[in-house]
Amino acid sequence: MPSTSADNPRDPNVLNRGRQARRSDPTHPPRARRRHLTPVFAVTIGCVGCSELVHEGIVSDRETSRPIPGVRIDQNRARGWKDLGETDGKGRYWILKSEIRGGGRIRLSKAGYYATTLSEAEFLGGQSFLMIPGESESDEFRELLRRQKPEDAE
């Protein structure tokens, strides 16, 4: 005996009739699909807010354009330089904006490179910074002190 479409559960006409019946039945609860969207929207909204809390970027070598790992990032405050962070192995940094405050200048430094000093606004406005290879600022300062000591002794 041949099967009819009413007997075949895979027949699209049978499936559609079942869906229509569920939709029109007032005692049938709505699909749980809508409940699954709520966490997705919450996560999306939460991630959008993250960009407002964090400043991230990369520091690269000016001559080779390669990222520089281990660059120290400091901010000049009333009581001296405050360490904000350091670049990772790929030259990237990730700093909470709440740590960057007070309008003090930002310094990027690493041995073998000239230190780069920026205003707070310049630092927050940029995401990619270049450093020039050469002596570090601390090496220059030590050399200057070494030269001045013999003159002061006379």
CATH no. for residue 101?
2.60.40.1120
Residue 123 pLDDT > 50, yes or no?
A: yes
Confidence of residue 97 (pLDDT cuts 50, 70, 90): confident
Separation between Cα atoms, residue 29 and residue 31, nearest integer Å? 7
From residue 94, alpha-carbon distances to 40, 55, 58, 86 in Å are: 25, 6, 9, 8
pLDDT in tens, 28-65: 555 555 555 455 444 444 455 455 788 999 999 999 99
Domain for residue 5, yes or no?
Answer: no
Contacts of 123 (CB under 8 A, 6+ apart): 55, 100, 106
Q: Could you tell me if 107 and 137 lie in one domain?
A: yes
Q: What is the pLDDT of residue 22?
A: 60
Which is nearest to 81 in space by CA: 56, 131, 115, 114? 115
Which is nearest to 137 in space by CA: 103, 118, 96, 109? 109
Q: Which domain holds residue 31?
A: 12-50
pLDDT in tens, 3-32: 555 566 666 665 566 556 666 666 655 555
Domain for residue 7, yes or no?
Answer: no
